[in-house]
Structure 1
């Protein structure tokens, strides 16, 4: 009987020691860097993924640990149901604790798409099509079809997307990013329009957007935006054609070869502001925040003309004679 008791006592002691050793090992493993197949591994967790599925996906992505162990960690944490869908990356040095924290906080690996001031929508679409990790869904759609998908049927796409940097998780659709850019432009345009000059000849926020796109394309130096806007306001006020080359170039489309000729200025299109008075029918580019503000709050000036000096700045003139002299000085004698 005594020997049986001693055996049981020894067995219990060994179990306690083994359990303690296992606990120490588990704690050390929890705080130690995970072995990875590469310097970093990436994967996207889909909405509704189970703890077992997440563990299987991470093991398949390159975490060199048995997926059953990863699954056990998720289950024992008691928080497996809180893991957020998204795109994640593990790097050398990340521990199981850090790995789980990332997924619980939704600490995604984000990509970025930058839309540039002065880009046309065609350029924006080209950048969208090449954006890394973005799920492509609108490539085959026309601009009109795309705008209908965005809830703006009948609205011209040009100029309707705010130039900014947009961050997104891998697997996000291109339409989602466009919705953000479209909503951002709506907000920026509304904010600008409520600050408009009461004497402005602009009749609507859409007019301001069109003029802002022209100001964006005509401005080589930020300090000139307000004055360039002032020139266009003066021309609109007296019924003078805007006579701005970027609108002519936009109207030529793919027919423009980089060299604007006299015959181009005389070729009538809806966007030719030499042959037609007033604003063109749509914006010609993506205007930024400062161009929007300049369009609604122009600088007071008596100038009706301006010409590029060749260094990014512009020379402004109140009369045609002064303008012709400026053209001779800064353009023809270069």
Structure 2
């Protein structure tokens, strides 16, 4: 286990170093714009899987947490001129409080009732922000970027690196949860919540913890988006496409392992970016639907589950 942990952190350092080198040697800005979106998708999918994958509580509230992260950043810039790290930390703190509130109000619900409650959360928060004129209301608000910080030549390059750091943080937390008593407890309640409670697993406490961590990470991931777009409006920030896409990425990759959402987000996120450039962004929803149906029917446990199944068959000599 310790050896795997060391290998993970070495890989994370190499990844961040490669991202930093890329910002210094690549002049074309488009890879950073597209790369930011892909990294954002990875971080959101990993954060979602902590509650939706490990605990089995299907959360359609990703848009709510992401949008709150965006508007937490807008408020901090508008009111205090706060730098990006403060915006991200503020978003993470608000996301943790939101996750706790959501958990206390809804986690005694199960199945479809919990999912519907998370959709309602998105609608309520979006309506509130739409009527909050200080942050632009329904018309949205323009955000002025500050001066770029060396060693980066543009603000988008810096945001690309920041999002890479958030990806590493999200993956590290998800990986730790999976390999700890928290992950084992969440898996037990996902398999059979009543049986888990009867054996002494603190199911409600674990669900609250998962909701807090997941919400905090999703808000933190949304915080840099205001500076990325230099504009924020409720319709875009709280778009339900974030919820659907994040869920699809996790299901395609596999929700039972921390690597699953990463694989699904890279596959689907890269495909969507290529289609946006070559054909049209409108095709993305069609591709998303087709891929989701394909994997739900052909590989219900996702790519990670399919790989495990193939390995088991190979050991048994079936292939």
Pick the structure with more strand per residue: 1
Bigger RCO (CA 8 Å, 6+ sep) = 2
Q: TM-score, normalised by structure 1?
A: 0.22
**Which protein is richer in helix relative to its size?**
2
Q: Structure 2-normalised TM-score? A: 0.23
Which of structures 1 and 2 has the bigger CA Rg?
Answer: 1
